[in-house]
Structure 1
Amino acid sequence: MALDQEPDIPFYEVHEVVVPHLGRVPITKGDFHALPKKVQKFIAFYVDYMTPRGIYICDGSEHEAHEVITKLMERGTLERLEALENCYICRTDPADVARVESKTFIVTKDKYQTIPHSKPGAKGGMGLWMDPDEMKIEMDSRFKDCMAGRMMYVIPFSMGPIGSDLSKIGIQLTDSNYVLLCMRLMTRVSPKVLDILGDQDFVKCVHSMGCPRPWRRKVINHWPCNPEKVLLAHFPEERKVKSYGSGYGGNSLLGKKCFALRIASNIARDEGWLAEHMLIMGVTNPKGQEFYIAAAFPSACGKTNMAMLNPSLPGWKVRCVGDDIAWMKFNEKGELRAINPEYGFFGVAPGTNWKTNPNAMASFQKNAIFTNVAKRADGMYFWEGLEDELPDDMEVTTWLGQKWKKGQPGLTSHPNSRFTAPASQCPIIHDKWEDPAGVPISAIVFGGRRPTGVPLVFEAFSWEHGVMVGAAVKSESTAAAEFKGKSIMHDPMAMRPFMGYNFGHYLDHWLSMNKPGRKLPKIYHVNWFRVNEKGKFLWPGYGDNIRVIDWMCKRLSGEAKVVPSPIGNLPEKGAIDISGIEDQVHWDELFSLPKDYWLEDAKETRQFLEVEVGDDLPAEIEKQLVEQEKRIAAM
């Protein structure tokens, strides 16, 4: 038997599932008999294992959502935002507010399928592995009877347009109807998924809040969870995720990072494509030429803002295909085609406002769920960054349930509070965002928060150099990460928390994309966050980032000239249109490359890769490191 394979167990195809230990378990909603055989067996095994009081087969309909919302409002889990249409606020237990990277594991027989052959002194930051036998003990101590007294919700969903050759299907079992509501926004939940599944394999997603009834731990904010026992396990060989104890975000919405990145990256490696933590955008210049760009930034570093850019240059048009995850595959013409596997936006709320991201704001003015934000007395949401819209005398209830008014100390919303909304409501959603064939990617962009030393933008010399640039991505840590502080953290390819297999093998996979007949995208690195000696940003950012994208597109068209530098091709001075913001931009400072800084940066990057990736570091990446070190030394 494979690592976490369910054995066949007997059951009857009626409106009750018969399992060895429970007898008959009622089907509260749906037709169990109509499910594909593989799905029936999957459900039957976990009904026996987790012992729910009933089974609720979801269809993703409006009627179903209304029924669940009504129940959660009666319970107190959801509260209506009266100022908006069909919008609700939810406050979690304060112990359940973020990703649980330190409790997130990949389970494989061979340890080095998951993590690199790192050297002494490695921090193990490129994924956590657990032995299958050890994980089985941990899983059994948690999941056995974990749904006692609770309903099991069966959620059939598609990541990507239903029926697309680039899409994949999942089935999630959960005892949280809040998760059902959010999965309905973030994935395509529909009976059509089951119609096309047939005998195909599907990704198995099993989630429990870890609170079987009777539950004696105090429930805070009507939010059942079990933070002391949280565990998130991935079984790539079985295409399975099991999550216990947390109801928050990607810990419970298993279609997100767990499926769409960690499991999908394994599938992508096996099938020859890429599953990446990237936005996808279409940009059209004043001549009517459209380019598609994929960009990878660590969480809370501006992916959503870039995907929904409101350009400051006249004549430019930006349309959003996706703001967080990209699945990319070369077609028979050699084009790299990309889809957004998600169906909604799960964005960081603080800092989002009508100035920084009006398109994101417009996306969640109806049919949205807000988690751990504050509520104004007039029935509107509130968080840090919306102070200009808050009347001075307006009372606010914080995410912790405390009363607050403008000018008082303290945060009203958790720094990682979120909005969840349908992507279709974005005013600049691309008309091809659900095209089954995907969109053709011309450029890939990496970036992060780098306060010093790193220029606004540079272009990689080659595909191989670009992969090295991606492997060297660093960023100031943000509220989305479990680890806090203002330290600069390595986040290779912006995939550090989401790596599904050995990072050295992952880099090999990227390098293998360079094959004859393929139209490889150009690779860039951007840094919107460089500051001067006084800590002031050197680049205005937001809508003015279109000026950098303008330069990239001119490079793709062969129009713009570059100046080679030790780290890549820089824009020729004046090549970026800064008309109207000349007084804000000091070109030489923005593009300076302090030699001492880059000598130290190259040394530190090499140390990170040699220690963390060790013997699995591809020879080509080593070659690129050596060549760049020589160029920097000769500055």
Structure 2
Amino acid sequence: MVGMVRCGRAQIALAAMAILRQRLAYCGKSVVTFATIGNNMACRSLSHFKDDDFAVVSEVVTHKQNHIPVIKGDFVSLPKHVQRFVAEKAELMKPSAIFICDGSQNEADELIARCVERGVLVPLKAYKNNYLCRTDPRDVARVESKTWMITPEKYDSVCHTPEGVKPMMGQWMSPDEFGKELDDRFPGCMAGRTMYVIPYSMGPVGGPLSKIGIELTDSDYVVLCMRIMTRMGEPVLKALAKNNGEFVRCVHSVGQPKPVATKVINHWPCNPEKTIIAHRPAEREIWSFGSGYGGNSLLGKKCFALRIAMNIGYDEGWMAEHMLIMGVTSPKGEERFVAAAFPSACGKTNLAMLEPTIPGWKVRVIGDDIAWMKFGADGRLYAINPEYGFFGVAPGTSHKTNPMAMASFQENAIFTNVAETADGEYFWEGLEHEVKNPKVDMINWLGEPWHIGDESKAAHPNSRFTAPAGQCPIIHPDWEKPEGVPIDAIIFGGRRPEGVPLVFESRSWVHGIFVGACVKSEATAAAEHTGKQVMHDPMAMRPFMGYNFGRYMRHWMKLGQPPHKVPKIFHVNWFRQSADHKFLWPGYGDNIRVIDWILRRCSGDATIAEETPIGFIPKKGTINLEGLPNVNWDELMSIPKSYWLEDMVETKTFFENQVGSDLPPEIAKELEAQTERIKALKE
């Protein structure tokens, strides 16, 4: 006999009994029936249930009599506030079934089989458990123009820019306008689809810096990728019961209720015209509609791990950053840990998995994309990787450029928008010399016949691999250490084709924040921007800023005060070019030569650096160039006076236009002082 949780609402109890009489019609499956009772909120999408707005009789029953089968999982075992979240959103989005994910291999196998049957995934037969997914060509990247922060006060989210100047670091929408946008999209958006309930942890489950999220989605592709990218399933629900029940609420829909009114391309439902990705930081809530692409739908990534997490970090006294974490061991056996922030597609994964070209050095990866960092009781800065997998850019990745990444996705991986060979192998630009048969027939990312030498691209420039981090041969044994690893150096960098030297060290912690705020880079394929323009990307966080950038810099400055022992801050540029547009530095595994110099500076070696107007650069001969032919050191390390004066003027304009009155006075002073030092530089 199924027990009833009574709520003091006669109509609910009667409805519950009616559903019980129908139970056999559902072959013993739990049934969920939802309705709100008397909610006066103006925005339907943001209305909330009270505890007595639904009843549980192995079913949840509300007065509207909408019954939804729970086809997997035990709804009753969910914590009450999780039940309420699932109930109110199911009643809003009207899915045909609810599937509570446990993260098991059996569950993954079941979902993969469904995706293969529908054509969403294609098995890559040359590997074990590797699959290819092709998206709608309109849904291939992050959409900054459709990504929003929702706060009552505009300038909590964005800076005070001058009238007529559009903020570059985040977009703000008022709660009232946001409510209208939600109600234009989410009611009934999951009709005919299964709603998956994904409990997941960012960071090791139960760790002191870890946080829990629950994502509701109608995409089984998202479930499979979240299983790779996060720790998900039953252990998370158990931890949720122990941490006061706090979790980040994540709602995602592809935005195509059935029957679908428009043509679905590549078995990939999406709704680009109505796509929106929105964050309510105070409510710890994320809403995503219309896109199935990684950063827009895997809500544990940039949405949670950066935009929402940096708000949590601001409140709790820690940092969420767009940074890799790597352990570097010298020939003497001394290991230090480095965090590095580069804009997307600028080499974070390659550096995190660096294979040193000089003997005796060893690199092990903690994470390749995001770092959560907090000062410990000993005053040092500790970092964890909140993710569980790698979501890397495929083109350019090869056994030559990143053999460790290649080894990480030989099994149990999902590839999105790459090409497939007739032999069942993946292919993208950069693998031309590794394919077994250069004349092999291929199907490109658009599903069209393709051969090496064709003018079109085999893979989309932002095509991705999604692979478990634990499969990386050089994953650090402490990569899941709950308290994290101590950071000795923070590195900023970007794609700067001219003017910026290979490496320099900041003059102080505050000057280092200024250096980070000045990061610029050529636009890449990771976002919808195209072309080769050099764009400002402060701290490599421009697309991911979760609150006012001026307040963000002040947060960094506050955390850098005693008794905290701050790491040294550096800037690198692997991408400087000669007059004939050839790279001046070989990069990849040879970047260990620069890391070597950085770590010697962290050890206090004052003999290997010389002071310049922009910071400390290596003295000639202090970076090991043995075995490197034709390195033009003088050109690589030069600081052209005219270039840097122009850069300072442009940076001042950027600060005035994009940070405005929110610019901390300390950063303004750093800009002024550096400008004066450059003016004193001899031609």
- Settle same-fold status: TM greater than 0.5: yes
Normalised by the shorter chain, which TM-score bucket? over 0.9
CA contact (8 A) 1:76 1:222 kept: yes
Q: 2:126 is matched with which residue?
A: 83
Q: Distance in 2 between matches of 1:20 and 1:597?
A: 69
Matched, 1:420 2:420: no
Q: Distance in 1 between matches of 2:458 and 2:142?
A: 20
Q: Distance in 2 between matches of 1:34 and 1:2?
A: 32
Q: 2:564 is matched with which residue?
A: 518
Q: Distance in 1 between matches of 2:65 and 2:425?
A: 46
Q: 2:414 is matched with which residue?
A: 369
Q: 1:6 is matched with which residue?
A: 48
Q: 1:315 is matched with which residue?
A: 360
Q: 2:28 is matched with which residue?
A: none
Within-5 A mapping of 1:260-339:
260-339=305-384
Task: Give the secondary structure class of the aligned counterpart of 2:531.
Answer: coil
Within-5 A mapping of 1:427-438:
427-438=473-484
Q: 2:140 is matched with which residue?
A: 97
Which one is further off, 7-16 or 254-263? 7-16
Q: 1:26 is matched with which residue?
A: 69
Q: 1:200 Cα shift?
A: 2.4
Q: 1:53 Cα shift?
A: 1.0
1:403 maps to which of 431, 449, 452: 449
CA contact (8 A) 2:147 2:277 kept: yes
Deviation string 1:559-589 (CA, Å, 9 cap, x unpaired) is 35211000000111111111111x3311111
Q: 1:375 to 1:22 in 2, by over 3 A?
A: farther
2:498 maps to which of 429, 434, 452: 452
Q: Which amino acid aligns with 1:620?
A: E
Deviation string 1:63-94 (CA, Å, 9 cap, x unpaired) is 00000000000000000000000000000000
Q: 1:621 is matched with which residue?
A: 667
Q: 1:455 to 1:69 in 2, by over 3 A?
A: same
Within-5 A mapping of 1:245-260:
245-260=290-305
Q: 1:64 is matched with which residue?
A: 107
Q: Distance in 1 between matches of 2:173 and 2:414?
A: 35
Within-5 A mapping of 1:100-179:
100-120=143-163, 122-179=165-222
Q: Distance in 1 between matches of 2:63 and 2:575?
A: 59
Q: Distance in 1 between matches of 2:482 and 2:583?
A: 40
Q: Distance in 2 between matches of 1:19 and 1:541?
A: 61
Q: 1:392 Cα shift?
A: 2.6
CA contact (8 A) 1:17 1:27 kept: no
Task: Give the secondary structure class of the aligned counterpart of 2:516.
Answer: helix
Q: Which amino acid aligns with 1:68?
A: L
CA contact (8 A) 1:350 1:416 kept: yes
Runs of 5+ consecutive residues of structure 2 not aligned to the other structure: 1-40
Q: 1:35 to 1:74 in 2, by over 3 A?
A: same
Q: 1:578 is matched with which residue?
A: 625
Q: 1:406 Cα shift?
A: 1.7
Q: Distance in 1 between matches of 2:465 and 2:166?
A: 33
Q: 1:592 is matched with which residue?
A: 638
Q: Which amino acid aligns with 2:296?
A: N
Q: 2:232 is matched with which residue?
A: 189
Q: Distance in 2 between matches of 1:187 and 1:21?
A: 36
Q: 1:523 Cα shift?
A: 0.1
Runs (4 or more) in structure 1 with deviation over 6 Å come to: none
Q: 1:508 is matched with which residue?
A: 554
Q: 1:558 is matched with which residue?
A: 604
Q: Distance in 1 between matches of 2:561 and 2:128?
A: 50
Q: Which amino acid aligns with 1:245?
A: G
Runs of 5+ consecutive residues of structure 1 not aligned to the other structure: none
Q: 1:122 Cα shift?
A: 2.6
Q: CA RMSD in A?
A: 1.2
Q: Which amino acid aligns with 1:472?
A: C
Deviation string 1:456-502 (CA, Å, 9 cap, x unpaired) is 00000000000000000000111112111100000000000000000
Q: Distance in 2 between matches of 1:457 and 1:57?
A: 49
TM-score computed with the length of structure 1 as normaliser: 0.99
Q: Distance in 1 between matches of 2:63 and 2:204?
A: 38
Q: 1:2 Cα shift?
A: 12
CA contact (8 A) 2:432 2:438 kept: no
Q: Which amino acid aligns with 1:267?
A: I
Deviation string 1:235-254 (CA, Å, 9 cap, x unpaired) is 00100000000001110000
Task: Give the secondary structure class of the aligned counterpart of 2:185.
Answer: helix
CA contact (8 A) 1:5 1:238 kept: no
Task: Give the secondary structure class of the aligned counterpart of 1:127.
Answer: coil
CA contact (8 A) 2:382 2:485 kept: yes
Q: 1:532 to 1:36 in 2, by over 3 A?
A: same
Q: Distance in 1 between matches of 2:271 and 2:64?
A: 25
Deviation string 1:17-42 (CA, Å, 9 cap, x unpaired) is 32443432211111111111110110
Q: Distance in 1 between matches of 2:470 and 2:223?
A: 19
Deviation string 1:119-170 (CA, Å, 9 cap, x unpaired) is 2453310100001000100001100011111111000000000010010000
Q: Which amino acid aligns with 1:204?
A: R
1:380 maps to which of 401, 425, 428: 425
TM-score computed with the length of structure 2 as normaliser: 0.92
CA contact (8 A) 1:532 1:538 kept: yes
Q: Which amino acid aligns with 2:364?
A: R
Task: Give the secondary structure class of the aligned counterpart of 2:238.
Answer: helix
Q: Which amino acid aligns with 1:295?
A: A
Identity %: 63
CA contact (8 A) 1:10 1:19 kept: yes
CA contact (8 A) 2:202 2:211 kept: yes
CA contact (8 A) 2:502 2:636 kept: yes
Q: Which amino acid aligns with 2:609?
A: V
Q: Which amino acid aligns with 2:664?
A: P
Matched, 1:43 2:86: yes
Q: 1:370 Cα shift?
A: 0.2
Q: 1:387 Cα shift?
A: 0.4
Task: Give the secondary structure class of the aligned counterpart of 2:474.
Answer: coil
Q: Distance in 2 between matches of 1:434 and 1:354?
A: 26
Paired positions, count: 634
Task: Give the secondary structure class of the aligned counterpart of 2:559.
Answer: coil
Task: Give the secondary structure class of the aligned counterpart of 2:383.
Answer: strand
Q: 1:52 is matched with which residue?
A: 95
Task: Give the secondary structure class of the aligned counterpart of 2:482.
Answer: coil
Q: Which amino acid aligns with 1:330?
A: F
Q: 2:388 is matched with which residue?
A: 343
Q: Which amino acid aligns with 1:6?
A: H
Deviation string 1:248-285 (CA, Å, 9 cap, x unpaired) is 11100000000000000100001000000000000000
Task: Give the secondary structure class of the aligned counterpart of 1:512.
Answer: helix
Task: Give the secondary structure class of the aligned counterpart of 1:152.
Answer: strand
CA contact (8 A) 1:15 1:26 kept: no
Q: 1:218 to 1:2 in 2, by over 3 A?
A: closer
Q: 1:14 Cα shift?
A: 3.4
CA contact (8 A) 1:19 1:47 kept: no
Q: Distance in 2 between matches of 1:133 and 1:277?
A: 31
Q: Distance in 2 between matches of 1:372 and 1:209?
A: 18
